[in-house]
Structure formats: structure tokens, C-alpha cells
């Protein structure tokens, strides 16, 4: 094979690698965004559990106040009972007090139920907290992994880029036009600038080459391109 074509093949390999590395680097911010949106949803179970506990507590306090109000009323009635001299009035007040006491009992039953519900909510909150912490740690690890991946990709780009620059300079020293042709083909022919001629068929455009092209490729004296797609050909032995 023509030495210049061999060099171009190595150059093409590095250019493809660079293209792949840059593509992966470009994807990193998207991956980060996806992770961020996933994290945003993870605290909601914990928030819901805490909110429920708070609602229970608010309701319980309301009931406590209702009991307090009724006890004050009972105190007032008891005062009136001491002051009254009429028997029927005394009876009416006693009856009113009894009614309020019945109400208090009913409210206190509700309070008890709420306290039980609050107790049940405690392990639910604890489990949600544990899960949220685990998710947070997991996400932090994923972010760290992504950062490490980006750093590694950037280092690889620098390394391959340096190698590529050196190879391109070597080709240019021999034939500057050939390097230009190669670079143009690489950009316009989907990273397939130098392709094999297999069974007389160009592997770039999959067209059977003409006899003089086949001979020229096999002879390897000059750089030969496909008549149909313009790609640089090398013989596949």
C-alpha cells in the first residue's frame, strides 16, 4: 500500500476516535440534566409523609381548643349553678353541663384516634427519610461518576488531538493537497474518506470500480480515488 494512504488510514482512525469522544462529551450535559430532573422527584414521598403528620397535628390542636372552650363553658355553668335559687333553672344548667361533657368525651375520642394516626405516621416518615437519603447518596455518586467520565474524555481528546496533529503534519510534509482532500472527504463523506476496494467494489459507495481504477489501486503507485464518490481507495488483500 502507498505509504501516504497507510498514514491517512491511521489519521482517519484518530479522527473517528476524536469525533466519538467529542460526541460523548457533548452528551454529558444532557445526562446531567436528566439526573437533576430525576433528583427533583425523589423528595416528594418524604414531603407528603411530613405534610400528613403536620395535618394530623393541626387537627389535634383544633380539637384540643374545642375541648378547652367547652371546659370554660362548664366552669361558667357551674358558677351559675351556685348562684341560682330556682330548681328548674338548676336542673336546666345541670343538663347543659352534661351535654357539653358528652361532647368533650366524643372530641377526646377523636383526639385519641388522631394520636394513633400520628404514631402510625412516624415509621412511614422514617422509611421515607431513609429512602431519600439513599437516593441522595446514589445521585451524588452518579454525578461524581459523570464528572470523572468528562475529565477522562477531555484527557483523551487532548491525547488523540496531539497525535492527530502530528500525523496530519507528516502527511502534509509529503503532500499538502492530499491532506486537504482527505479532510474535505472526512467532513463530507461521513468520516469515510479512505475506504477499501473489496472484490472490485468501493466500500464507500458500494459501486463496482472500473478496470483501470482497480489496477491503479492494486499497483499502489499513486493515490487513487473512486470515480463515483471521490473517496480515496486502498486495496484489501
For the bound state, the minimum distance from the C-beta of residue 214 to Zn ion, rounded and expressed in Å, comes to: 12
Segment interacting with Zn ion, rule: CB under 5 A, options 83-91, 94-102, 113-121, 226-234: 226-234
Q: Is 121 or 181 the residue whose CB approaches Zn ion more closely?
A: 181
Residue 229 within binding range of Zn ion, rule CB under 5 A = yes
Beta strand residue intervals within the chain, DSSP E: 194-198, 201-202, 232-235
**How many residues can be counted in the chain?**
237
Mind spelling out the 3-state secondary structure of 137-170? Answer: HHHHHHHHHHHHHHHHHHHHHHHHHHHHHHHHHH
Give 201's strand partners. Answer: 198, 208
Residue count at the site for Zn ion (CB under 5 A)? 6
How far is 33 from 9, CA to CA, in rounded Å? 37
Interaction residues for Zn ion, span 181-210 (CB under 5 A) = 202, 204-205
Alpha helix stretches (DSSP H) within the chain: 3-40, 44-83, 87-174, 176-188, 211-219
Work out how close the CB of 197 gets to Zn ion at its nearest, in angstroms, rounded to a whole number.
9
What is the C-alpha separation between 38 and 116, in angstroms, rounded? 34
Measured from the CB atom, the residue of 150 and 205 that comes closer to Zn ion is 205
For Zn ion, the closer of residues 47 and 187 by Cβ is 187
CB closer to Zn ion, 104 vs 191 = 191
Distance of CA 233 to the CA centre of its chain: 44
Angstrom distance (rounded) from CA 103 to CA 40? 46
Smallest gap from Cβ 147 to Zn ion, in A, equals 43
Tell whether residue 153 is a contact of Zn ion (CB under 5 A): no
Least distance (Å) from Zn ion to the CB of residue 221?
Answer: 20
Q: How far is the CB of 14 from Zn ion (least distance, A)?
A: 23
β pairing state of 201-202 and 194-198:
antiparallel
Nearest CB to Zn ion, comparing residues 63 and 229 = 229
Q: Examine residue 226 and tell whether it contacts Zn ion (CB under 5 A).
A: yes
Q: At its nearest, how many Å lie between Zn ion and the CB of residue 191? A: 15
Please identify, using beta-carbon distances, which residue of 56 and 185 lies nearer to Zn ion.
185
By the 8 A CB rule, do 234 and 217 touch? yes
CB of 227 to Zn ion, least distance (A): 8
Stretch that binds Zn ion, among 14-22, 55-63, 104-112, 225-233 (CB under 5 A): 225-233
Distant-in-sequence, close-in-space partners of 91: CB < 8 Å, separation ≥ 6: none
Quote the CA–CA distance of 200 and 218 in Å, as a whole number: 10
Identify the residue among 77, 90, 143, 228 touching Zn ion (CB under 5 A). Answer: 228
Binding site for Zn ion (CB under 5 A): 202, 204-205, 226, 228-229
Amino acid at each position: 500500500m502507498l505509504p501516504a494512504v497507510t498514514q491517512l488510514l491511521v489519521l482517519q482512525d484518530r479522527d473517528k476516535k476524536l469525533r466519538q469522544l467529542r460526541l460523548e462529551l457533548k452528551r454529558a450535559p444532557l445526562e446531567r440534566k436528566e439526573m437533576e430532573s430525576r433528583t427533583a422527584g425523589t423528595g416528594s414521598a418524604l414531603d407528603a409523609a411530613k405534610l400528613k403528620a403536620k395535618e394530623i397535628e393541626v387537627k389535634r390542636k383544633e380539637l384540643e381548643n374545642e375541648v378547652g372552650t367547652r371546659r370554660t363553658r362548664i366552669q361558667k355553668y357551674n358558677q351559675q349553678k351556685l348562684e341560682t335559687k330556682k330548681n328548674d333553672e338548676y336542673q336546666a344548667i345541670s343538663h347543659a353541663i352534661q351535654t357539653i361533657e358528652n361532647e368533650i368525651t366524643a372530641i377526646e375520642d377523636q383526639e385519641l384516634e388522631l394520636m394513633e394516626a400520628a404514631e402510625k405516621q412516624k415509621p412511614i416518615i422514617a422509611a421515607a427519610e431513609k429512602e431519600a437519603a439513599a437516593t441522595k447518596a446514589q445521585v451524588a455518586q452518579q454525578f461524581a461518576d459523570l464528572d470523572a467520565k468528562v475529565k477522562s474524555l477531555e484527557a483523551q481528546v487532548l491525547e488523540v488531538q496531539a497525535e492527530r496533529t502530528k500525523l496530519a503534519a507528516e502527511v502534509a510534509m509529503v503532500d499538502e493537497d492530499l491532506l486537504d482532500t482527505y479532510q474535505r472527504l472526512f467532513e463530507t463523506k461521513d468520516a469515510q474518506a479512505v475506504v477499501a476496494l473489496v472484490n472490485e467494489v468501493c466500500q464507500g459507495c458500494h459501486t463496482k470500480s472500473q478496470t483501470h481504477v482497480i489496477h491503479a489501486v492494486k499497483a499502489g503507485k499513486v493515490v487513487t480515488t473512486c470515480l463515483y464518490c471521490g473517496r480515496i481507495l486502498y486495496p484489501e488483500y
